[in-house]
Each structure stands twice: as structure tokens, then as C-alpha cells.
């Protein structure tokens, strides 16, 4: 596993360099999910593939930017699913973006997820690694990652990050979000999953939601590339992650690009989501 984490460190350093060196405009290609790719998306995907291809313990790699699984070493131990540059629509306005990785052993499912890692590119570059615990590292001027601290969520937080277009929210979802605000929760939403979830983790708790909406009943965020890694991280940090009713890590994707409604948070907020969604869906 250490060799996979070390490869992710190299990837983070190279992607950080790409923000400065590369053109941030859109390309004329679309990815496997139909999003128009930034040139930076293409470059980041290349960097990740190049570095992960050198890791002998990896059996296969699955990119959010591609339609198919790529075999690296048929005798390898792990499968890694990744989003090379999540929230890249924020790169042109110079807001934080991230890379997300889920590392599986013996097939892709929540119970086979052995580790999850994300890198956040903001004023600082930080890497959060979840195995049995959740640990945060900071990239130093010597291009080395240094351990900073362990991350644990409180039972209840103060932040509310509601995703999805409000126009298409269902009435019960809107009522739930409004109730949280009426209880004093503060709005924190940048539109980048990595910085939005990172903020809630570091500030002790709250709720991030990306619900099923009238226009997108299965939500927007992808199980393998975004949802499962963060569900693992939130659970290991003492929080919870559900689809409204069920635990996210119990869902079984039928296709690598499947999406799901998702709610990540500290325990009290997730219990409130369950109560609000109990008789719905």
C-alpha cells in the first residue's frame, strides 16, 4: 500500500506544477461522462496514469475521465479508481480543486475498499489518507509531504453545504435544508466536492449533500470516483455517509460511471437526513 501512497504524492506534486505551467482553457474533447474536458483535466489524467502504471502492486486502474478499466499487472493486488481533477470547472477562477483515489482489494465494492486518499490544491497542497484512521499531510517547500494531524469529526457541526440546483430540489429536501439554516447552520459551498468536504472535516462537522433531484434522480456525483472514497473517509473520521436511507458503502455499482444521491456528515446531521428522508424516495 505504501507504494500506492508514494505514487499519489508524486502525482500531487506534478499536478500542482501543471496548474502553473499548463493552459487552463477548455479542450475540444468530452470525457466518459459527457463533460467537456479542460486541457488541465487531460494533462492530470495523463500524469495519474503515468505514475500509477509504474506501481507493480496495482492490478487495474479506473479513471473518471475514461470509459474502460486499464490492466497494469494481472498479478497485482489492488484496483484503484480515481478522479484526477475533481471540480475542475473551478480551476479557471482559481478556487481549490482536488484529486480523489479509492484503493480496493479483491474487486470493487464498499467492503473491499482498503484506503481512500484525496489531495487538495489550494493556497497549500494537502493530502488526506484514510486507512484505519484519517491523517492529514502538508506539502512542504522541499516537495515532501509532512504529517500534520489526525482528523476526527465531532458529533455535530455547524456547516451546511447543499449541492444541486435548488430549482430541481424535491420539497422534502428543501424543507430539510431550510430547517438546518433555521437552526443556525452556516452556508459553506464552493461547488468543488473536495474543498467542500475538506472544510466540513477540518471544522469538526456539518452536512454536505448532493441529492437526487427532479432533473437528476440519481444525483450527479459518481460512486467510484467521488462518493465511495469520501464515504470511507467520513466513516473512518467518525461520521457517516448515506444516500438518504442506506449506507453509501453498501451500494453496488452496475457500471463504473454510476452516480448516486449522497450525504456526508457528522452523526447528528446524518440522523436528521434519515429522519427527513424516512417516508420519501
Among positions 8-67, residues that touch ligand FDP (CB under 6 A) are none
Dihedral sign for Cα 222, 225, 231, 237, please.
Answer: negative
Nearer to ligand FDP, 162 or 205 (CB): 162
Near ligand FDP by CB under 6 A: residue from 73, 89, 109, 112:
89
Nearer to ligand FDP, 9 or 86 (CB): 86
Q: State the nearest-atom distance from the C-beta of 257 to ligand FDP, in Å.
A: 12
Instruction: For residue 86, state whether it binds ligand FDP (rule: CB under 6 A).
Output: yes
Interaction between residue 223 and ligand FDP (CB under 6 A): no
The CB-of-88 to ligand FDP minimum distance in angstroms stands at 5
Give the separation between CA 60 and CA 73, rounded to whole angstroms. Answer: 7
Nearer to ligand FDP by Cβ, of 140 and 191: the residue is 191
Which of 84, 87, 239, 253 is close enough to bind ligand FDP by CB under 6 A? 87
Q: How far is the CB of 2 from ligand FDP (least distance, A)?
A: 28
- Decide: is 217 part of the binding site for ligand FDP (CB under 6 A): no
Between 156 and 185, how does the x/- string for binding to ligand FDP read (CB under 6 A)? -------xx---------------------
Q: Is 116 a binder of ligand FDP (CB under 6 A)?
A: no
Q: Contact region for ligand FDP (CB under 6 A) — 12-20, 115-123, 138-146, 187-195?
A: 187-195
Which residues of the shown chain bind ligand FDP in the complex (CB under 6 A)?
86-90, 163-164, 191-193, 220-221, 226
Amino acid at each position: 500500500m505504501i507504494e500506492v501512497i508514494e505514487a499519489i504524492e508524486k502525482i500531487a506534486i506534478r499536478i500542482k506544477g501543471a496548474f502553473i505551467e499548463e493552459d487552463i482553457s477548455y479542450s475540444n474533447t468530452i470525457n466518459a461522462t459527457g463533460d467537456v474536458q479542460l486541457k488541465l483535466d487531460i494533462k492530470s489524467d495523463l500524469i495519474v496514469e503515468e505514475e500509477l502504471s509504474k506501481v507493480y502492486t496495482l492490478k487495474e486502474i479506473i479513471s473518471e475521465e475514461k470509459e474502460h478499466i486499464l490492466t497494469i499487472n494481472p498479478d497485482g493486488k489492488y484496483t484503484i479508481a480515481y478522479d484526477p481533477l475533481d471540480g475542475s470547472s473551478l480551476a479557471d477562477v482559481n478556487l481549490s480543486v482536488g484529486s480523489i483515489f479509492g484503493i480496493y482489494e479483491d474487486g470493487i465494492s464498499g467492503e473491499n475498499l482498503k484506503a481512500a486518499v484525496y489531495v487538495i490544491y489550494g493556497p497549500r497542497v494537502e493530502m488526506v489518507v484514510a486507512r484505519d484512521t484519517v491523517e492529514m499531510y502538508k506539502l512542504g517547500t522541499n516537495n515532501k509531504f509532512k504529517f500534520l494531524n489526525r482528523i476526527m469529526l465531532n458529533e455535530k457541526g455547524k456547516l451546511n453545504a447543499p449541492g444541486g440546483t435548488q430549482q430541481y430540489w424535491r420539497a422534502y429536501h428543501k424543507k430539510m435544508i431550510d430547517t438546518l439554516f433555521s437552526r443556525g447552520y452556516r452556508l459553506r459551498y464552493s461547488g468543488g466536492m473536495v474543498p467542500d468536504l475538506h472544510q466540513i472535516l477540518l471544522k469538526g462537522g456539518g452536512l454536505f449533500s448532493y441529492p437526487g433531484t427532479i432533473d437528476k434522480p440519481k444525483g450527479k456525483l459518481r460512486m467510484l470516483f467521488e462518493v465511495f472514497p469520501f464515504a470511507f473517509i467520513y466513516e473512518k473520521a467518525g461520521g457517516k455517509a448515506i444516500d438518504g436511507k442506506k449506507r453509501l458503502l453498501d451500494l453496488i455499482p452496475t457500471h463504473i460511471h454510476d452516480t448516486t444521491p449522497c450525504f456526508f456528515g457528522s452523526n447528528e446531521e446524518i440522523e436528521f437526513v434519515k429522519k427527513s428522508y424516512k417516508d420519501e424516495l
